[in-house]
Structure 1
Amino acid sequence: MIAYKKPEKLTCYTIAISYASLGGMWTFFSDSLFAVLLNQPENSHKSVALSHWLFIAFSAILLYWLLRFWDVAISYSQESLREANRALRSISECTKAITRITDEQELMKEICRIFVKVGGYRCAWVGFAEQDEDKTLRPVAYWGFEDNFIDNMQATWADSERGRGPAGTTIRTGKTTVFQNFKTNPDYLPWRDAALRSGYESGISLPLREAGEVFGALVIFADEVNAFDPEEIVRMEELADDLSYGIKTIRMNDEREHALEERMLLAAAIEQASNGVLTFDRDGIIQYMNSSYEGICGAAAEDSVGKSIHSFECCLRNRSFYESIKMAIDTGMVQSGHFDNERSDGNRYVVHARISPVRGATGSVSRYVVIVRDVTNETQLQRQLRQAQKLEAIATLSGGIAHDFNNILAVIITNTEMTLEDIPDDDPLKKSLEIVLKAGFRGKDLVKQILTLSRRTEQEKQPVQIANIVEECFNLLRASLPTTIEVKKWVANDVGEIAADPTQIHQVVMNLCTNAADAMRENGGSLGVVLEEVELDEDACKSYPGLEPGEYIELQVSDTGHGMDRETMERIFDPFYSTKTQGKGTGLGLSVVHGIIKGYEGAITVDSVPDRGTIFSVLFPKLKEKLNIIPQRVVNFEHQGNERILFVDDEEDYVRGKAKMLSRMGYSVTPQTDSRKCLELFRANPNDFDLVITDQTMPNMTGEALARELLAIRPDLPIILCSGSSPETDPALRPENAQSIGIREVLLKPVGKDEMNDAIRRQLNAQVIEMPRGEYAKYSYHR
């Protein structure tokens, strides 16, 4: 509003009086003056007409009003000029603030300051509409307020008593709201007294918009009523629009900077991510490749970016991967899967890849993103887990059939041995019976190998210098291999020892080397054996489930033969699986090797490429401490005896055969097929027997339970537990369990005549035979 300045009436009045006085003087003295000047004295006394005086008075009054109008016009023009200058300065200051300030809060505060300091108003503030249940009006910036009026007003933009103020009405209606007099406006009643105490007489609220929606209001208070004329309101609306634009621009810039930061962060994360990322446009031109993709694929980004995906070396080497990329391009659909790939150096690796089209705002594909994850170790671990699960199932199955199969073999071997003793050497049947006996012992060895697949019991261990075994096997192989196979060996200096059975380690080395040689018999090649010490940390152990960080001895056996595909590699440790021709293998070799290595808490892995070769890697824990080994003392026993033996087994044929065999060796045998009757017989005459031989798995009462009852009656009784089961399936056969009961010795069926007699004599001769079994040196365990 323009404040009009009152004209200076005294000045206009003085000029009019002066004009009238001069006119009167002129009227009175003009004739005399002209008479003197014209030398006409007769004209000096003419009378002055009344009209002259009226003219002078009227012209004086007219002059006064003209001067007054002129003074008012000048004052109004000056005030208008001042108002225009103030408005222009306000607009200029606001424009500068909008272009200069990049912080939203700072901009709103500066605009409020300009309205107060430059515009001359009492107070200015900005409020935002909260989208809460109460529709709260939140002040966010202000300047010039008194007595915390803005903070305490508790205004809303709801259609309620506290929402009908200037700001609430503007936000709710989207229009400019003017209260020219707070004292008389009923809608301002909730804040009237506080406003008047603060010197606020009138106010205006201007909407702040973004995308057509009102998000807040700019409110200005004046210290006089009727302070906002139409022209002022128009200028204020323009400034409010400029402020809205400035806020919108700052928010857009903030969003743009935030998006840029997120993109930079995302780019940094992608660059540092373990997953490989590659992008190419719809024309197939590679645009980006992160370092992880370089490491996984083996291709350099500087050589790949800018080239066509169709000539990309990783695609050319991996046909199935390339076909999936082509499928994604042709169909516009996401493609994913596992792919066996090969690097430029020939190393194989497995990735899980996802090829995704990226669509623009119009829905058309603008580029493609390929994300690959190296799952080589994961695939190997899954393969090892499946293998372990299969072997676990096979071990359970084998343990279940071993008892019955061993009982059958025991009957065959026992009766065959006795029949061979009964017939003369020139009998035609002797040769056939020897073949039967040999087949029986082969069956025994086969069952033993099956039970070795997933052995969980403690192995008989001693310090083994594996380098010596490798040397021995190497010399055996060199003499038997054709000249087309080149043999190479590298053994590191001072390779340590492992705790193992040397016979089994010999079996592992020979099996792996023999398989490697068999893979090259047709076309020749190179067989390599490497032995060295390695140290595995926690990261390295992730590739070998079950291994703990520490020192290991690694045996590598490699060949350049026909290699294996994935399907074959997944089955090579399966029992009875073989790639050899009929009659050249049982399919148990690698299964037994796997069981032996696992029994020594080691690990075995295989890497193979078809038509290139295979590498088997075996890890054995390095022996850190000396084993407490008691030297074995060999004792030769006579094959005859005369003691009394109580023999019990639920297999009638087996009992009949063993009783006859023991009787031939001079023993007095009391055979039984019922464990309960055996216990009753012993309880009636406990001193009539020198030794008890019992089966483990029997109806009504197991051998373990029978042994407890017998020992309760006679604690010094020697008992031999003879079973067709294995320690893997029956815990009672384990050394620590059997010893805790008081059982002297465990024999696993089938048991030959000499093995049975040796066990009997060890117990009946009442000698403590020192066996190399560590803390169980007084306990005999034979299989």
Structure 2
Amino acid sequence: MAPSTPKSDRPTAIIVTLVFLVVSTFWNMLSDHLFAILLNRPEMNQHSTNIGHWFFIIFSAIMLYWLLRFWEASVAETQESLKKVNRSLRSVSECSRAITRLENEETLMQEICRICVEVGGHRMAWVAFKQDDAQKSLKPAAHWGADNIYLENLKASWSADSDIGQGPAGICIRTGEMVIFQNLLADFRFNPWLKEARKYGYASCIALPLIDNGRTFGALVIFNGIKNAFAPDKTELLAEMAEDLSYGIKTLRMQKIHQEEVQERLMLAAAMDQTSDGIITFDTNATIQYVNFSFLHLCGVPENRCVGTSLHNFECSQRNPEFYRAILKVFATNQPFSGHFINKRSDGSPYDIDAWIAPVFDADGSVIRYVATVRDISQEIVLQRQLRQAQKMEALATLSGGIAHDFNNILAIIITNTEMCLEDADEHDPQRPFLDLILKAGLRGKNLVRQFLTISRKPEQPQKPSNLTHVVEECVSMLRATLPTTIELQQQIPAQLSPVFADPTQIHQVIMNLCTNAADAIAGQNGVLNISLDEITLSVDSRTNYPELPGGNYVRLMVTDNGHGMSREVLDRIFDPFFTTKEQGKGTGLGLSIAHGIVKSHKGHISAVSILEGGTTFTVLLPATTEMVSGGDDSSRAQYTFGKEHILFVDDEADYATSINIVLERCGYQVTARTDSREALDLLRQDSFSCDLLISDQTMPHLTGTQLAAEALKLRPGLPIVLCSGSSPETDPAVSNANVAALGISKLLLKPVSRTELLTTVEQLLTAPGAGIANE
């Protein structure tokens, strides 16, 4: 059977055959004549017409034609085979080049698909990634030569229990082996996609697994337009291409992971350098490998004396033995450790740290280094201390307010009755010295209660713009006369200083208390006591040490001594009432508590810094004001006179009510005293009851003083009312100035009320314009 004619058929065989026939014919016809002439033998010139010669010529021509046609077909097939092999080799070569050149996974897969189509001569190629969802779906990761609509509408799976899981990609991913469909139109497994295959001219298909570490994660799927397109020799090259693609994807993913790890390490290194926590690492021989800036700042040792130094010779270890022993414990046990330490800086000043010390293990579980992280919590300790102090003072404020109320009633009775006895006693009365002692003791008790109320931050006197320079200079004058000559008194007071809203008497008391404590700390030895004033501005960033203070200008008072100093435990309790380190009988423990209360009532801040055997510094901040200092108070104490008006006095303390009744009646007033606020209210409801002034205690059963005042003003608008309270406005908000004014109460007096203060107030209210309107 003749070989098939190649597609690019040429008339080479026919031409050669015809040439052979023509030459053979001429030779057969002219050869005898030619040889006769050449040999000069005329007898050889015979015109032979032998039929055998012509048969041989024709048979030879036919054989020559078929041989030439067979040779042409063989050459064409060989060229086509070489062309296909060359195309496959070129595809593999370009795939290898793409794998080494491209650095993006998606771009690589797209390029491989393009090479399969444009270089490999296939119809379409796409990469399927398996999804670990409930449907076990396949996700197109890249494609070439296909309409996007085909892949968008493609529903495929790698599930063995689904019809859409029986396609080449699904089977390939599920089994991890190469799958070939040589005739898509006749293979029932391809029925779900048969319509689309016919539409796009797909006839055969191959799916090649993409494997990473023995796990199939996807497939390279290639479609061809002819049946049986994937011969064994071609599949081997395609399988090699899929392996190269798998390796390329794996390499790119590893490079991406490596880049992310490098980036994370760079970020971690930057974070370690910039974090406020101190970080130090050691190798297994206890040699320092790394320290960040924060640790250098905390430790106070230069970097060139840290890195490469043994932990045992490290300066910070020698200054802080407890921290050093904690690190050694981790070295010995290879167990993490965390704890709180009080370390010392290079200048000897202490600072608090929280430390975490731990070994670092490699993948085999071996220790490769140790790391210690320290965080300076000194500021947090200060804030916690301030919070505890504030809570103590709040609790004491409540306690002192309650104590003051009861004591004030008792003291008021003692003082009032003693003053009346002294008025009645003759100048030479033998009982007069005893009455003076009683009055003196009562006044001392009054001062003690005032100190309690000062601790509870009740303002004793109205605060006004005051110049602290004069107050400090007055204190310095007093101290120079009282301090021993072994103590050198220094002062730094600027000529110009902003005023502050303050009660000068209370600030004087604060300064004297601080200076007295400083002198006691020096304890008779040669020492220096320094008093300084200056101004500072607290910005938002510089308020770290004073979180309760708003930003602005402040006058700063500092009292510094070089005495014996205080330990951390003592420093934590210095503002506690009745806490003292002095011997019994040499101190009450109220001085710093009172100073604390006074400063807080002035919306300021007081703190102390002390080093054992290194001295102490107290710092007081008071908000500055732009108001001018007044020239002084020229008012003189009002003189009371006798009256005849009717006064209703209400106090649940019967003895005190009796005492005030006598005081008022001695001045000519008519007095109705009641110890039950409900009875007093019933009297006010009676039209026949005449009343020019109501004086009421605040803390009473049934109706408080403010409640009684509110009801009284409803019944008799315009009635002057005096409210007396033994509590601090901070502990009893009902007697605050704002609440008293809102209720319409004329005057608030704080117990114990002196007779002069009471009578002066009564006279002022009864002689004021409009007095008595309530009874008209």
TM-score for both structures, normalised by structure 2: 0.85
What's the offset of the Cα at 1:585?
Answer: 1.6
**1:345 and 2:343 equivalent?**
no
- Give the aligned CA root-mean-square deviation in angstroms: 4.5
Q: Which string of whole-angstrom CA distances, capped at 9 and with x for unpartnered residues, describes residues 509-553 of structure 1? A: 111122122111254432222211111111223432332111111
**1:323 and 2:325 equivalent?**
yes
- What is aligned with 1:92? 93
What's the offset of the Cα at 1:70?
Answer: 7.3
SS of aligned partner of 1:538: coil
Q: Distance in 2 between matches of 1:87 and 1:553?
A: 90
- What is aligned with 1:121? 122
CA gap 1:629/1:188 in 2 versus in 1, 3 angstroms: farther
Give 1:123-162 correspondences, 5 Å limit. Answer: 123-145=124-146, 148-159=149-160, 160-162=162-164
What's the offset of the Cα at 1:240?
Answer: 0.7
Q: Distance in 2 between matches of 1:424 and 1:607?
A: 57
- What is aligned with 1:354? 356
CA gap 1:384/1:58 in 2 versus in 1, 3 angstroms: same
- What is aligned with 1:445? 447
Give 1:268-347 correspondences, 5 Å limit. Answer: 268-347=270-349
| Of 551, 567, 583, the match for 1:549 | 551
- Shifted more, 689-698 versus 263-272: the winner is 689-698
Q: Which string of whole-angstrom CA distances, capped at 9 and with x for unpartnered residues, describes residues 357-381 of structure 1? A: 3222122332233333333222222
- Shifted more, 672-681 versus 311-320: the winner is 672-681
Give 1:122-521 correspondences, 5 Å limit. Answer: 122-145=123-146, 148-159=149-160, 160-418=162-420, 434-455=436-457, 460-521=462-523
Same amino acid, percent of matched pairs: 50
CA gap 1:30/1:719 in 2 versus in 1, 3 angstroms: closer
Letter in 2 for 1:533: E
CA gap 1:711/1:138 in 2 versus in 1, 3 angstroms: closer
- What is aligned with 2:42? none
Q: Distance in 2 between matches of 1:685 and 1:29?
A: 175
CA gap 1:436/1:583 in 2 versus in 1, 3 angstroms: farther
- What is aligned with 1:652? 654
Q: Which string of whole-angstrom CA distances, capped at 9 and with x for unpartnered residues, describes residues 337-357 of structure 1? A: 333333223444333332233
Letter in 2 for 1:440: G
> In 1, are the aligned partners of 2:650 and 2:696 still within 8 Å (CA)?
yes
SS of aligned partner of 1:410: helix
What's the offset of the Cα at 1:198?
Answer: 2.9
Letter in 2 for 1:165: G
CA gap 1:425/1:16 in 2 versus in 1, 3 angstroms: same
> In 2, are the aligned partners of 1:465 and 1:498 still within 8 Å (CA)?
yes
- What is aligned with 2:597? 595
Q: Distance in 2 between matches of 1:5 and 1:237?
A: 31
SS of aligned partner of 1:183: helix
Letter in 2 for 1:621: P
- Shifted more, 309-318 versus 425-434: the winner is 425-434
CA gap 1:66/1:378 in 2 versus in 1, 3 angstroms: same
Q: Distance in 2 between matches of 1:683 and 1:149?
A: 98
Q: Distance in 1 between matches of 2:24 and 2:740?
A: 154
> In 2, are the aligned partners of 1:116 and 1:143 still within 8 Å (CA)?
yes
Q: Which string of whole-angstrom CA distances, capped at 9 and with x for unpartnered residues, describes residues 540-595 of structure 1? A: 23432332111111111122222222222221111111122211221111111111
What's the offset of the Cα at 1:256?
Answer: 0.9
CA gap 1:219/1:451 in 2 versus in 1, 3 angstroms: same
SS of aligned partner of 2:554: strand
What's the offset of the Cα at 1:60?
Answer: 11
| Unaligned segments of structure 2, at least 5 residues | 40-45, 47-51, 771-776
SS of aligned partner of 2:542: helix
SS of aligned partner of 2:579: coil
> In 2, are the aligned partners of 1:489 and 1:530 still within 8 Å (CA)?
yes
SS of aligned partner of 1:504: helix
Q: Which string of whole-angstrom CA distances, capped at 9 and with x for unpartnered residues, describes residues 390-444 of structure 1? A: 1111111111122212222233334444555677777887655544433322221
CA gap 1:9/1:511 in 2 versus in 1, 3 angstroms: closer
SS of aligned partner of 2:228: coil
Letter in 2 for 1:401: I
- Shifted more, 658-667 versus 721-730: the winner is 658-667
> In 1, are the aligned partners of 2:280 and 2:372 still within 8 Å (CA)?
yes
Alignment size in residue pairs = 764
> In 2, are the aligned partners of 1:147 and 1:198 still within 8 Å (CA)?
no
> In 2, are the aligned partners of 1:454 and 1:598 still within 8 Å (CA)?
no
Give 1:12-31 correspondences, 5 Å limit. Answer: none
| Unaligned segments of structure 1, at least 5 residues | 39-44, 46-50, 769-783
Q: Distance in 1 between matches of 2:492 and 2:671?
A: 58
Letter in 1 for 2:139: R
